[in-house]
C-alpha cells in the first residue's frame, strides 16, 4: 500500500531530514510512526501527500509511483489519502455539516451525493445530532471527530493521523483512538504519527521508530521505546 524506498531528504546543507529510509506498510495495517520532534516524522507525511519531493529514492502509494508526481495529479492522490491534523483545521464560520460538505464541494460533488455521504460519515464519527453546531460549540474531541469525518468523505484507502490527540485530554484521546481503530476495522490503512507514549503502548499495534532521520525500530505489537 505504502512504500518508501531508500528515501533521503535534505532541507539545508546541514539539515538532513531523512537518511535512506525504507518502509513498507501493507493494506489494512495500523502503524504508529513515533519519535521526538524534528526526527523526520512530518517530512515522511509530507512526502506521502506530495507536499514535498524526496532528494533520492521512491515513494509508492497503491502501486502508483508518486516520487515525481505532476501537480495536476496531486488532487487525485489526496482523495486516496485522508489526513487529520492536531489543530483540526476547521472553518469556524461553518457548521459541522458545512465543514464536512465543503471538502466534497471542492471536489465537484453535487447536492444529493453530498447529503448521502455527509450522513454516512457523521454517523461513523457519532456526530449526526450535532451537524448544525459550529466548531466553537464543540469540545476538542468533537472537533477532531469533525476533521476525521471530513477526511473520510472520499472513502480514502489511507488515513494519516498526524498528532491527532495532541490537544486532547485523556478521555477525548481515548474516544478518538477508538474511532481510528473502528475505521481501521473497515479496512482503511492507518498511519498514526505521534509522540504520545501512552497511546502507542495501549494500541499494541505495529510501531515504527524514527530518530535523527533514520528508522531505528520496526516491531509488530511494539511499544514506544525512546
Residue 25: inside a domain? yes
Residue 182: inside a domain? yes
Residue 66: inside a domain? yes
Domain housing 103: 2-219
Residue 112: inside a domain? yes
Residue 20: inside a domain? yes
Q: Predicted confidence band at 39 (pLDDT cuts at 50, 70, 90)?
A: confident
Residue 173: pLDDT over 80: yes
For position 136, which CATH number holds?
3.40.50.300
pLDDT tens, position by position, 125-167: 999 999 999 999 999 999 999 999 999 999 999 999 999 998 8
Q: What is the DSSP string of the chain?
A: -EEEEEEEEEEETTEEEEEEEEEEE-TT-EEEEE--TTSSHHHHHHHHTTSS--SEEEEEETTEE-TT--GGGHHHHHHHEEEE-TT----TTS-HHHHHHHHHHHTT--HHHHHHHHHHHHHHHT-GGGTT--GGGS-HHHHHHHHHHHHHTT--SEEEEESTTTT--HHHHHHHHHHHHHHHHTT-EEEEEE--HHHHHHH-SEEEEEETTEEEEEETT-----
Residue 224: inside a domain? no
pLDDT tens, position by position, 184-219: 999 999 999 998 899 999 999 999 999 999 999 999
pLDDT tens, position by position, 1-37: 899 999 999 988 788 999 999 999 999 999 999 998 8
> Rounded to two decimals, what is the model's pTM?
0.93
Residue 226: inside a domain? no
Q: What is the pLDDT of residue 224?
A: 84
Residue 156: inside a domain? yes
Number of domains in the chain: 1
Amino acid at each position: 500500500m505504502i512504500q518508501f524506498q531508500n528515501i533521503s531528504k535534505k532541507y539545508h546543507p546541514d539539515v538532513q531530514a531523512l537518511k535512506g529510509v525504507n518502509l513498507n506498510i501493507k493494506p489494512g495495517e495500523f502503524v504508529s510512526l513515533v519519535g521526538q520532534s524534528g526526527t523526520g516524522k512530518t517530512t515522511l507525511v509530507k512526502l506521502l501527500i506530495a507536499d514535498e519531493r524526496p532528494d533520492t529514492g521512491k515513494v509508492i502509494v497503491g502501486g502508483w509511483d508518486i516520487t515525481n508526481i505532476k501537480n495536476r495529479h496531486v488532487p487525485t492522490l489526496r482523495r486516496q489519502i485522508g489526513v487529520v491534523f492536531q489543530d483540526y483545521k476547521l472553518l469556524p464560520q461553518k457548521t459541522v455539516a458545512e465543514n464536512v460538505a465543503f471538502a466534497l464541494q471542492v471536489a465537484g460533488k453535487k447536492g444529493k451525493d453530498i447529503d448521502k455521504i455527509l450522513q454516512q460519515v457523521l454517523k461513523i464519527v457519532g456526530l449526526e445530532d450535532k451537524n448544525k453546531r459550529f466548531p466553537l460549540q464543540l469540545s476538542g474531541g468533537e472537533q477532531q471527530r469533525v476533521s476525521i469525518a471530513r477526511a473520510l468523505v472520499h472513502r480514502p484507502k489511507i488515513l494519516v493521523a498526524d498528532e491527532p490527540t495532541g490537544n486532547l485530554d485523556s478521555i477525548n484521546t481515548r474516544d478518538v483512538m477508538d474511532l481510528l481503530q473502528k475505521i481501521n476495522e473497515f479496512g482503511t490503512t492507518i498511519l498514526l504519527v505521534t509522540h504520545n507514549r501512552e497511546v502507542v503502548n495501549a494500541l499494541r499495534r505495529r510501531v515504527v521508530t524514527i530518530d535523527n532521520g533514520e528508522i531505528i525500530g520496526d516491531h509488530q505489537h511494539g511499544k514506544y521505546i525512546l
